[in-house]
Amino acid sequence: MEQIQLTIEEQHDGERIDKVIAELNEQWSRSQVQQWLKEGHVLVNGKAVKPNYKCHVDDEVVISIPSPEPLDVAPEPIPLDIYYEDADVLVVNKPRGMVVHPAPGHMHGTLVNALLAHCQDLSGINGVLRPGIVHRIDKDTSGLLMIAKNDLAHESLVNQLVNKTVTRKYVAIVHGVIPHDYGTIDAPIGRDPRDRQSMAVVENGKEAVTHFRVLERFEHYTFVECQLETGRTHQIRVHMKYIGYPLAGDPKYGPRKTLPIDGQALHAGVLGFQHPRTGEYFQFEAPIPHEFERLLDMLRNNR
């Protein structure tokens, strides 16, 4: 069982405890957090509280995260593009089209299946279904992921995500020509009330902050770098749509069949974090995949 400790800061004074906790991690839903509170897995100043408890500055919160129900997941000898590996962490470059972890109805061909075949010492905090997984990227997004090989590493990396000290930079091709060179999108993200299978900017959503800068402009598109301050589900895809520049090729949030790419043009190119055992800062960069580079060449030639 993983434990996370935090102290309530001034910006969360008066907010509901379930809302504050749900904002800490992209994989926690508010309903899940409410269940933890009801089951006594969350203590505030040493005592169990209800989901509607209003936080006070300097409240000491301890979250004991129960392990999910395990499912049998089979190791599969799928090649991995490994950028770094030691006894604690693994950094891999996930290809487009690969799902990160299994789900009912999709139990094969995932990154987790490949990881189980590659190493037997993954962190068990997330259970058999998501061993070693600290964060994730979408199926059709390529790029770098950090994997925890033991529980110490898992807790350290999750806490770095919670404290916003992990560097995560993506590159994307978006529709439209962004006129300004830099920008920050600070807009909360939650389930779209009109489509529960999608995310959207909603008033009662989780805090979400994306910084972007323009790398190159084309006639009808812009090549941008996006840096995550938070890591909500589909964050970059939702935020860029929200400001009027949806990702090219995005089947859920953008116009259909505009560029010859299967899925959104999004690549997690830079990942940086402190090593969980030594404290040394590591940063890795993965080049743009061939399909993405081909799109850029096409747009440059059509100027």
So which residues are the catalytic ones?
Answer: 138
Alpha helices in the chain (DSSP H): 17-22, 30-38, 111-118, 151-162, 235-242, 290-301
Can you tell me the distance from the alpha carbon of 226 to that of 228, in angstroms, rounded to the nearest whole number? 7
Can you tell me the distance from the alpha carbon of 47 to that of 215, in angstroms, rounded to the nearest whole number? 50
Q: Residue 86 half-sphere exposure, CB side, CA atoms within 13 Å? A: 7
Residue tagged 């004991």 (tokens): 64
Return the SS3 of 210: strand
Sign, Cα dihedral of 258, 260, 263, 266: negative
Which stretch of DSSP H or E encloses residue 269? strand 266-274
